[in-house]
Amino acid sequence: MKREYFGTDGIRGTVGQAPITPDFVLRLAHSVGQVLRKSETRPVVLIGKDTRISGYMLESALESGFNSAGVDVVLLGPLPTPGVAYLTRAQRASLGVVISASHNAFQDNGIKFFSAQGTKLPDAWELEVEAALRTQPQWVQSAALGKTRRLDDAAGRYIEFCKSTFAYDLTLKGLKIVVDGAHGAAYHIAPKVFHELGAEVIAIGCAPDGLNINHLVGATHPQALVAAVKEHKADFGVALDGDADRLQMVDAQGRLFNGDELLYLMASDRLQRGEVLPGVVGTLMTNMAVELALKARGVEVVRAKVGDRYVLEALHERDWILGGEGSGHLLALDKHTTGDGLISALQVLQTCVRADKTMAELLSEVTLFPQTLLNVRLRPGTDWQSNAALHAQTKAVEQELGQSGRVLIRASGTEPLVRVMVEARDPAQALRCAQSIADTLQ
């Protein structure tokens, strides 16, 4: 069956437009409650949110929907998505719920769920919820209604968890770090984590007003971080997105490091300490230079489809621990069950502190290949995959690039576009080859 409401990461959209309306969200929570009660008599659900003004409205709707199905609710308040995942597991709750649209602007919002183990839920569970949505509500009797309480120290518990993932024999003392919380869910948490580990912290993007989440700050707008690091002469800059599961980092020179480079640093630290690291999972967009550098150190690299959900699936299939995307979604499954921007930043900082080197020094042998990405707009319904000329041109480009580059052609999931990406050591060659393929498509 095809999912009607769930996307690759929960349900998301513009607030006030279906399905992100209070009436639908109430029904959604009620339906989830019905599914939970098939296996539990008295389920308990944790609800966390980011700082969007619509979070208040959607939180109330979720609370009512769960209570009406006989499910108890624990409100966590503003908390990063990975913080909700952690507390769901730590509190032995039945389910974790996050109200967030991640890196989107404040007009959007969404609902995503975590299992009792703090992991993303499978497609089969989402389909079961959608089936329940198509049935009539089953309101429980008054005596069986759920209750709601608030976990007042949720932020403090998550702060301690993050700190516990940083090596006990290391400290951040002597380092000045700019922390950009994107005016999002980590605004009151991220500065404390780095400060309590010894760093001098300069906080930006940590003054949410309900409307400014991700606005010109955070991981999707790293220019603010670069400027602040230079202004304050800081050693590092850390930028999170609205729900703090995405990371970008900057060094003292203002150089921005993407997720591919940060993933290499996390792998390098483990290799340096003699840990067994059979492989790392990237995506179809992972830079080829990082793949070659890891393979040179005996680490296999597997490419999953774009999306942290698919990276996670590939890691579980192989029982590996490290994976990520260039966008900054990074996974270290020996530290947490899901991607966590704060914990990933601590892993990178730990690498630098232990080696007493900068990120640039540790990446001196990894020079990212230039990537050219072109979007080709086609008429809806165009069967570009059967285009013989496209196949011939793509094969010609691949033969020209050999082992020093690659081609990726994929359809957009949201627009009638085909994305053409060519990666090569020579930027001029990458652009020329990408344009030749795009011209063939058009």
Q: Which of 94, 102, 327, 344 is catalytic?
A: 102
Quote the strand ranges of 141-268, DSSP E: 148-150, 176-180, 200-204, 236-240, 247-251, 256-257
**Token representation of residue 260:** 């591919």
The structure tokens 């029982």 sit at: 319
Dist CA 216 CA 225 (whole Å)? 10
Nearest to 99 by CA among 153, 56, 43: 56
The three-state secondary structure class of 113 is strand
**Is 77:185 a contact under the CB 8 Å cutoff?**
no
Dihedral sign, Cα of residue 325, residue 329, residue 330, residue 334: negative
Dist CA 211 CA 207 (whole Å)? 11
The enclosing H or E element of 191 equals helix 190-196
**CB-hemisphere CA count at 13 Å for 231?**
10
Residue 219 φ then ψ, to 5°: -65, -25
Distance separating the N- and C-terminal Cα atoms of the chain:
34
Q: What angle do CA 101, 102, 107 make, to 5 degrees?
A: 40
115 is catalytic: no
**CB-hemisphere CA count at 13 Å for 241?**
22
Q: Residues 116-148, buried b or exposed e (16+ Cβ, 10 A)?
A: bebbbbeeebbebbbebbeeeeeebeeeeebee
Q: What is the CA radius of gyration of the chain?
A: 23
Residue 35 φ then ψ, to 5°: -65, -45
Sheet arrangement for strand 11-14: 11-14, 108-114, 95-99, 44-49, 72-78, 148-150
**Token representation of residue 338:** 């899901």
The structure tokens 């979604």 sit at: 329
Active-site amino acid positions: 102
